[in-house]
Amino acid sequence: MTSSAINAPADAAPEPPPLSDRLRQTVLPRLVTGLILLLMWEIAVRLLAPPFVARPSSVVAIAPKVLTDPKFLAATGSTLLAVAEGLVISLILGTLTGLAIGRSRIAEKALLQHVNFFYAMPMIVILPLFSLWFGYSAATRIATIIFASIFAIVMNVADGARAVPGEYLEVARSFRAQRLRMLFEIVLPSSMPYLLAGVRLAGGRALIGAVVSEFFLSIGGLGYYILYNSRSYHHSEAFVGVLLLAAFGVGFEVLVGWCTRRFMPWYRRGAN
């Protein structure tokens, strides 16, 4: 959004334009586009699709009921809790592994290509195997979430740990700092932006992992709520769930972006 000023038409001043101009140039087109998209969707569904298919008016009409439904809230809570748990585990294990790969030649040589293999693998193929291992249970969901998210963190932290300026480490070494302290007090803080970029990726992947595993395992959660309701032709109800998922996805991105700007203002967006 900040960079849209750069691309402003030639007659615009190079300084940030006043609020009224910004309203006219960004907010208005956005609102209009949004309305047009919603209208197109509404009309297309009314004309072409059977009545059970979700359209904006039906979704809005049903949303208050769904959002206050305790079952829906319980499902949402269960999914979010699983995602949070999985992400925390991924974060801890992934950061440690990433630091090792980034700072130790041996660890890099031994582990990197295996991490790469799992990172490139479409994560959901692991589901049938995990369901053999852990059964059709919430444990499989957690395992899938971790599998989906951890490698993004490992890769990014490793990149970050590799990019630590050598002078920092030299100074620490000349003060005879211990290796472990250097790792956690210099390398880790200095690779924070990379870590956050990894967390951003991992969050999206974790959410997908949770939804897919609920589809696959039929265990309670937002994903299963969507599956169940769309199977019984309650598309509008199910779509509220999709919107909530989208909101979580965007919300997480915004949160991580905000953290980056708030705590690492020197780190410019788009560098990773």
Contact residues for other proteins (CB under 8 A)? 3-4, 7-10, 25-26, 29-30, 32-34, 37, 49-50, 53-54, 109-114, 116-118, 120-129, 131-133, 204, 207-208, 211-212, 215-216, 223, 226-227, 230-231, 233, 235, 238-239, 241-242, 245-246, 249-250, 253
- Comparing CB distances to other proteins, the nearer of 47 and 132 is 132
Using only C-alpha atoms, what is the Rg of the chain? 23
Q: How far is the CB of 250 from other proteins (least distance, A)?
A: 5
For residue 87, the minimal CB distance to other proteins (Å) is 15
The least distance separating other proteins from the CB of residue 108, rounded to whole angstroms, comes to 9
Q: What percent of the chain is helix, strand and coil (3-state, nearest 5)?
A: 80, 0, 20
H-type helices in the chain, by residue range? 19-22, 28-48, 56-68, 70-103, 105-120, 127-134, 138-162, 166-174, 179-182, 188-190, 192-217, 222-231, 235-263
Give the pair of three-digit tokens for residue 255: 């949160």
Distance, in Å, from the CA atom of 214 to the CA atom of 196, rounded to the nearest integer, reads: 27
Smaller CB distance to other proteins: residue 15 or 167?
15
- To other proteins, the closest distance from the beta carbon of 66 in angstroms equals 15
Question: Which one, of 150, 171, 132, 145, lies nearest residue 92 by Cα?
Answer: 150
Q: Quote the least distance from Cβ 46 to other proteins, whole Å.
A: 15
Contact present, 52 and 34 (Cβ < 8 Å): no
Q: Between 54 and 199, whose beta carbon lies closer to other proteins?
A: 54
Q: Give the residue with the Cβ less far from other proteins, 19 or 120.
A: 120
124/139 Cα distance (integer angstroms)? 15
* Residue recorded with tokens 């979580």: 248
Cα separation of 43 and 221, whole Å? 32
Q: Extract the tokens encoding 51.
A: 């009545």
Minimum CB separation of residue 181 from other proteins in Å reads 29
- The single-letter code of the amino acid at 93 is L
Least Å from the CB of residue 38 to other proteins: 10
Nearer to other proteins, 194 or 216 (CB): 216
DSSP code at position 16? P
Closer to other proteins by CB, 128 or 189: give it.
128
Beta carbon nearer to other proteins, 195 or 210: 210
